[in-house]
Amino acid sequence: MDQNSPEFERTRNFYQKDFLTYLSVERNLAPRTVKEYKDDLNHFLHSKTIAVEKNQDFSLSNVDERTLREYLAELKQDRHYTPRSMNRKIACLKSYFGFLEKDKFIARSPLAALKSVKDIRPLPKVLSVEEVDRLLNSVPILEVPKQLSQEWIKKNFGMIRDRAIMELLYASGIRVSELVGLNLEAIDWEKRMLKVLGKGRKERYVFFNETSAKTLNIYCKIRTQSKTQALFLNKKGERISARMVQLLLKKHLKRAGIQRMASPHTLRHSFATHLLEGGADLVAIKELLGHANLATTQIYTNISLSHIKQTYDQAHPRGSGHLKKKPLGRV
């Protein structure tokens, strides 16, 4: 057998099962994330560069920095991967080979010196405060009648739920995946807090304001009885999907007369940017967003600087906004 055993690289599965168990148990990653790692790892092992199904002599000890650079070149040149997509593959392989080194399946990880691909990301899209107001107010806040009828609930359920969803996304800055994963028990009405399960299955607390509390309270009064404890339901009484939240937001953007594209994540970006522009501390915003690193949150300082520059140009007597209205004379 040999071929750099143990057990010929665990009978040519190359310790994938061990790695995925490690991700799930020791690193406590969400099932969806574990599946993404599995797919990325399979992509590497069955790529043109490695092709384990054809190369019966392949061994993990043969993988070096050059091999990995050839794989990345394959991704870029043959498959036209973006830097962001390539970096996801690199992150997976760093975790994989780091695990193999830690458990002594290989002597040393070949990715120790490999850096991520430089990614010049565009600034996140953000709605202005005025645009957010228009979006939210495109769905009126309805008062619940004392005598509730099923007919009234059926007629108004969607609009009330949609307003509560949009208010909560903007008030708390949570991801759409976190929103659809909320259960009734997550709400602390007294403190106006939510317990959210974020990336890496990490729990955190976020806040919501009085307006979102009002709309959420109205929604909960008409929320239909359901077997599920999910907070937000579709009309069948089942947990709402992230795709449905995207579609309902698209519908209300059109109602509000907002032409540019926006998504639930745009409300998250808007939440962070508006907090920063209102004087909030960057570290506090990091905690509210559930970011692992402050560097991820710092992108909002760039958006804020962009906003400040635009304000400067419009407000300064000799800024571009004024010059367009009143051209300078000849010197």
Say whether pLDDT at 86 is over 90: no
- Does a structural domain hold residue 52? yes
166/277 same-domain check:
yes
Asked if the structure places residue 309 within a domain, the reply is no
Note the pLDDT tens digit of each residue in 280-290.
888 999 999 99
What residue numbers bound the domain in which 210 lies?
129-281
Question: Do residues 52 and 135 both lie within one domain?
Answer: no
What would the mean pLDDT of 61-65 be, rounded to a whole number? 84
Q: Residue 1: pLDDT above 50?
A: no
Q: Buried b / exposed e across 178-192, counting CB within 10 Å, b at 16+? A: bbbbbeeebbeeeeb
pLDDT in tens, 123-166: 778 999 999 999 999 999 888 888 889 899 899 999 999 999 99
Residues 134 and 95 reside in one and the same domain: no
Q: What is the pLDDT of residues 246-269, one digit of tens each?
A: 999 999 999 999 988 899 999 999
Select which of 175, 252, 269, 286 is catalytic: 175
pTM above 0.75, yes or no: no
pLDDT in tens, 115-132: 767 665 667 789 999 999
Residue 205 annotated among the catalytic residues of the structure: no
The structural domain count of the chain equals 2
The answer on 273 and 160 residing in a single domain is: yes
Segment 24-44, tens digit of pLDDT: 999 888 888 899 999 999 999
Q: How far is CA 118 from the centre of its chain?
A: 20
12 is catalytic: no
Residue 112 pLDDT more than 80? no
Residues in Cβ contact with 251 at an 8 Å cutoff, skipping those fewer than 6 apart? none
Do 145 and 275 have their domain in common? yes
Which of 268, 269, 274, 286 is catalytic? The answer is 268
Q: Do the domain assignments include residue 302?
A: no
274 a catalytic residue: no
Domain check: are 268 and 155 in the same one? yes
pLDDT exceeds 70 at position 324: no
Residues 96 and 202 in one domain: no
The last residue of a domain, from among 263, 281, 299 = 281
C-alpha R_g of the chain = 25
Note the pLDDT tens digit of each residue in 4-20.
555 555 556 789 999 99
The answer on pLDDT for 302 being more than 80 is no
Same-domain check for residues 259 and 158: yes
**What local confidence, expressed as pLDDT, does residue 301 receive?**
79
Q: Which of 12, 199, 204, 322 is catalytic?
A: 199
C-alpha distances (whole Å) from 140 to each of 81, 132, 134, 238, 262 are 44, 14, 11, 24, 20
> Among the options 12, 204, 265, 307, which is catalytic?
265
Is 268 part of a structural domain of the chain?
yes
* CATH code: domain of residue 72: 1.10.150
Q: What mean pLDDT comes out for the span 283-307?
A: 83
Domain co-membership, 253 together with 139: yes
Q: In the annotation, is 291 catalytic?
A: yes
| Residue 234's CATH number | 1.10.443.10
Please, which pLDDT band fits residue 211 given cuts at 50, 70 and 90? very high
Are 198 and 250 in a shared domain?
A: yes
